[in-house]
Structure 1
């Protein structure tokens, strides 16, 4: 990600304005549907990730959803829930879910911006980096279960293997 200067938003500012500046600085494809919604797309190792940011000013909450470009086959729906539970046990921030309308796995996280807490560029960079990193880390596990015929426990173990060195 291109780093922008350290700046803080004014109190009560819309955090999506910060996300929009970040998207512009990084040349991400994005669309600001309204003051309260922004959609962007980021290329990853496994697929392009579709990010959706939603701002609820009355609650002071911004939610990020990062969708994986992979559909959950209907016959694998039950196994996908087991896989989600296993993946979520390994996360410190956010959680995986399945968007029921689109049948795609999605990483979700929400942040509170109240009492003078603001959406700095660094915070938004960290949030996006965490979302994309977790999607990259678990994408192979979803593939193993959906298309590789693996059981969720096997898929998590295989996806969590750390490689050392270079080939």
Structure 2
């Protein structure tokens, strides 16, 4: 994600956080579609794939929901190992969680933010939320691939995906 100039959205706030999401999408040249005042879909390029972001704003509850779908379909015969992988991945997250959209068969990172009692979204917060969602998807994408296409067990896939090399080759 490109860093925005402070005048772009950093210091702005909005009662409807999707206004700031739209500004972030424009500033980063992300393809996006604002369905209405309460829904926005965008696409962000990552290292492994293009991630489909979906934002939903529920003004009565003061909640914005963010979903970030990985561009891979889970075959029905791989659902049980993927569910085990989701549980293991979720144990390693501080914010949000991974889920499986059952109808589409897509792994997805989800997170919701509460804006109540005068609290409003800021451009910086929206940037952070998108960065966290995409970063977590990037971090766990190989684990999903190892289970779905590589035939690895979930624990083995998590270990292999999160293995960080130390030093230089």
Q: Which TM bucket (shorter chain)? A: over 0.9
The separation in 2 between residues aligned to 1:51 and 1:75, in whole angstroms, is: 26
Q: Does 1:74 align with 2:55?
A: no
Contact residue 16 and residue 53 of structure 1 kept, 8 A: yes
Q: What corresponds to 2:164 in structure 1?
A: 162
* Shift >3 Å, 4+ stretches: 164-167
Q: What corresponds to 2:25 in structure 1?
A: 23
Pairwise CA RMSD? 1.1
Q: Name the SS of the counterpart of 1:134 in structure 2.
A: helix
Q: Which runs of 5+ in 2 are unaligned?
A: none
Q: What corresponds to 1:51 in structure 2?
A: 53
The separation in 1 between residues aligned to 2:60 and 2:75, in whole angstroms, is: 37
| TM-score of the aligned structures, taking structure 2 as reference length | 0.94
Q: What corresponds to 2:67 in structure 1?
A: 65
State the shift of 1:166 in Å. 5.2
State the shift of 1:100 in Å. 1.0
Q: Which runs of 5+ in 1 are unaligned?
A: none
CA deviation string 1:92-134 (max 9, x = no partner): 0000000111000000000001112111111000000000000
| TM-score of the aligned structures, taking structure 1 as reference length | 0.95
**Counterpart among 38, 60, 66 of residue 36 in structure 1:** 38
